[in-house]
Structure 1
Amino acid sequence: MNSEKLSRDEKQLKTRLALIESGFSLISSHGYGAVSIRNISKHANYTQGAFYSNFSNKEDFLLELMRLQFEKENLQLQTIISKEDLNSDYSIEKLRVWLSDFFNNFEWLKISIELQLYAARDKSFALEYQKVWQTHKDEVAKILICLIPAAQPVDQNQIETITAELISLSYGLALQYMIFKDDVEKYINIIIQNLNHRIETISAAMK
């Protein structure tokens, strides 16, 4: 009985992942408005019934793409920035490498534009979008605290400000790079310099 249930669960997970992969590809290529549930299902070689077994509607699907991307980003940042690694310079250099990969993830950057545009047009979707975005910011804030020297107290409001700046700046500059495709290091340096300046300011204020 348990093995049968596990087999069904694995099958549903396989279906879900295939739909997500297809949706990612189609929406980044054609835009959210041009892609239907039927398109996504057909591209993944599943029926629309399979889609509705995993997602309540197209908006729910789009939010899931957002959640999965943010979870991936948070996991990567947790690996890069850790209290166990007290060398903040080393963490910053690892962050540079991560930013380079992030800037070249054009598929996700295109979808992030679609998310923002749809949230701007649809109030109910905007509310759910804000919830997912806030959760992401909260998780990134927990990670960024690790860059503050351990001996110093942490001002949560300042950490939240740094987090908002880092996320907004990263996405804004990444979108510019996606369009101009010039020197990626130029954009990364802006983010790193801004982050270093903010951390130094907080550290100085706490002394």
Structure 2
Amino acid sequence: MPKPFHNLEQEKQQRIISASLQEFSEKGYEQASTNQIVKNAGIGKGMLFYYFNNKRELYDYLINYCFDLVHNGYVQQIDLSEPDFIERFRQASMNKLTFFNENPFVFNFLGIIMLTEDELLPHDTRKKIEQLQQIAYDSIYKDIDYSLFRDDIDTQKAMDLIKWSMDGYREDISQVYKGEDIANVNMEKLTLEFTQYLDTLKIAFYK
């Protein structure tokens, strides 16, 4: 982390990060404008380049910032001691929904990173992506109790269908509440509705 930026007050750091994530996630690296970033952040352009030598340095900082945020704020919150695949995925989906609403541009920004051509990303960045993907995969699939599934179905296909169903539900909810303050979302109602869908999946796939 650039030292001057690290020493900047937290509120101004967050304004710069949020404005930068929004610009890069909406326009990609090449089309992103530092003029728009400083305008949205409410700072002078000279100040931005005092903290970061150039647009690329800012971009690389955001990559590491988002990786750490997703790892600490989402992936590490998944309970690996829960052997029930649906219950573990329920927890992960609700965590992801909350995280997405609190950090709306992070997943969009990382989505762009994932689609970037290999030659445009440094080797250590590509390696960090692969490590994060593996950690997330292990967090969902490691030490699952497969005996819960019915004997007459393909367990892997059932798990894929469950995952797609939950991802689709989360995406629908994210669109419905897009731009809403997370504090205004009725999480109790949302959780109850989600639990009802999970109960249906359990009837379909579990013994």
**1:21-58 Cα deviation digits (max 9, x unpaired):** 22443256565435527628954789224432698524
2:93 matches 1:99: yes
Q: Note the alpha carbon deviations across 1:139-191, whole angstroms, 9 max, x for none.
A: 12333455435xxxxxxxx99xx79x85x776654333221349845567667
8 Å CA contact retained: 1:92, 1:192: no
In the alignment, the residues of structure 2 paired with residue 125 and residue 193 of structure 1 have an alpha-carbon distance, to the nearest angstrom, of 44
Which SS does the other structure have where 1:175 is aligned?
helix
Select the structure with the greater relative contact order (CA < 8 A; seq sep ≥ 6).
2
Question: How much does 1:130 deviate?
Answer: 5.1
The number of aligned residues is 175
* Residue in structure 2 matching 1:26, options 19, 27, 30: 19
Change (3 A) 1:50 1:136: same
Unpaired runs of 5+ in structure 2?
A: 146-154, 178-184
**Code of the aligned partner of 1:100:** M
Q: Does structure 2 retain, via aligned residues, the 8 Å contact 1:27–1:35?
A: no
Q: Supply the distance in 1 between the matched residues of 2:129 and 2:200 (Cα, whole angstroms).
A: 24
* 1:136 to partner: Cα distance: 1.5
Structure 1: gaps spanning 5 or more residues: 1-8, 150-157
Matching of residues 61-140 of structure 1 within 5 Å: 61-72=61-72, 73-77=74-78, 80-82=79-81, 88=83, 92=87, 96-97=90-91, 99-104=93-98, 105-117=100-112, 120=115, 124-125=119-120, 131-140=127-136
- Taking only aligned residues, the RMSD between alpha carbons, in angstroms, comes to 5.2
Any residues of structure 2 matched to 1:103-182 within 5 Å, and which? 103-104=97-98, 105-117=100-112, 120=115, 124-125=119-120, 131-144=127-140, 146-149=142-145, 166=163, 173-181=169-177
Residue deviations 1:68-109, cap 9 Å, x none? 2321222212xx223xxxx635x927x645532421433534
CA distance in 2, matches of 1:107, 1:68: 15
2:150 is matched with none
